[in-house]
Structure 1
Amino acid sequence: MELIRGLHNLAPRHRGSVVSIGNFDGLHRGHQALIARLRMLAGEHRLPATVVCFEPMPREYFQRDNPPPRIADLRGKLRDLAAFGVDRVLLLPFGPRLAAMSAEAFVRQVLVDGLGARAVIVGDDFRYGARRAGDLALLQAIGAGAGFSAEGLGTVTLDGARSSSTGLRAALALPDLDVVERLLDRRYRITGRVRHGLKLGRELGMATANLHLRRPPALAHGVYAVKAYWDEAPNGLPGVASLGVRPTLGLTTCLLETHVFDARPNLYGRELAIEFHKFLRPQLTFDGLDALAAQMQADGRDARTHFTAELMPS
């Protein structure tokens, strides 16, 4: 998949596209249906399936004091878009210039002049441009004169509820991993590069691979039974992970610490994907390191018990 960062990096060869626009945070079933339709139209036109998305997301820009938590970071989003068959992503920096751009100017500069769109597919409630003034009707009206078709995809429902990033964030915050899995059609993952930490887990008998999270994720802080994936472990290895700010140590940076069972791989600098299987307990504050170490061992036993049960025939 080709990543194009900003309109200024568009080249003449990028003209001629079938396009979808949105945040695509989490790539839930609604997003998946949109991408499936995008790929179908791209095949009919024999043109690249192209997604336009934004960094930061518009709500993060407008709600800087209280931004919505991310379901996936940018790297995870791009990986998911590639996995679902998107050919190109145009990543637009969302700042004052784009926020002030009229809906008509957005369509002209991005879709017509930039991408040479032949077909556009969006969610039927999609809004764009300054003050969210643009809608599907405006997109269709401009497209009729500019040489592209535009269509909206209706709401995708699951168990009678709308499949949406808002609903997914709510399920992650509970956390209800069964609902999350149904909305995503897969288990939830957090990806990142393993960094050096305090190495306290090693001293307490449970060495961990640490992912420093620049933005706190939507998933509730706590301890989980997980599987860890990296290049040499494509099928995943079971373990236990703690997501949170480590209140016992008085720290405030959000960290995902994962202990992989029965393996001692050197993962520093490696890209890791942590897949969440079961919520074990919320984040707690302990009286000292001895109490923390004892609880870590108990968490490890609980996670092992979960994976043993997971392997048992139902």
Structure 2
Amino acid sequence: MLEQSGGLPHETDAIFLTDGGTETWLLYKRGFELPEFSAFHLLNDATAREAIREYYRAFADVAVELGTPFIFDSLTYRASRDWGRLLGYSDEGLAEMNHKCLDLYREVASEAGMKPEHTVISGCIGPKGDAYKTNDVLSAHGAQDYHAEQIETFKAAGADIVTALTLNATAEAIGIARAAEAAGVPSVISFTLEKDRRLRSGESLQEAIETVDAETGGAPAYYMINCSHPMDFGPALTGSAWADRIGGLRANASTLDHGTLCQLGHLEEGNPDELADQYRDLKAAFPKMNVFGGCCGTDHLHVEKIGRRILDA
């Protein structure tokens, strides 16, 4: 667990790194099948477990080399109730898997020689449904009730923070932020944008952030953008106060839209140097951003380039 002297991203201006496209790496770089796109399920297989350890160790080594804190994240993205039941888990069994994921992070951090004050354990939350489809029936109250279970599990497992990735509607974001606040755990809300630079539910990024803040009393520690490319989300950012609430980025390697990426059947790794330059420019334009990682198609090589570009700027 993070020592208090280090501070979480919203408590300091230090640069934090986090991981990349976990699922795409496991699928295309290591050839594992992901039932229901659930990476956590692979911990049941010894070979896959070692691959996951290798994945996180590579990122941890980058953070140690660059001297930055690192946020361990992503593996529990689909370790919530509905997805767990599709894979045959009982509520107790699913809670155990969430604990195992966070324990793995701690083991890797120790093996990599990471300083305790540089080690952030994040409980990653994914949408209740498909991130690339609109879930019109999920209310803020329903989202709070659903996600509270996994958040309480993260709290019991000693998570420093919870991060909700790839959200495409404000109602679910509001519910998650409220559930985390009720549990006494800081939350991060990360939205994904479509090619029209809006959430799939139709809101602009500004509308989404301002709505969640208004409905939760500014409960999220900060916001992020993930599973989009800087060429798409960059123009949606402005220099106004709402954009200062965005604390981090986890971009896709490719500029292709979500639907196309899901159907390709191979990995699109993009141009890591170009992506790193885009991150550097966004950091310069929005200096309060201090959390940087990747999403689909990225791995530790992308994140290393991003980290070096930002630190050298």
Task: Kindly indicate whether structure 1 or structure 2 has the higher relative contact order, using CA contacts under 8 Å at least 6 residues apart.
Answer: 2
More helix per residue? 2
Which of the two has higher C-alpha Rg? 1
TM-score range (shorter-chain normalised) is 0.3 to 0.5
| TM-score after normalising by structure 2 | 0.33
Q: Higher strand proportion, which one?
A: 1
Normalized against structure 1, the TM-score is what?
0.33
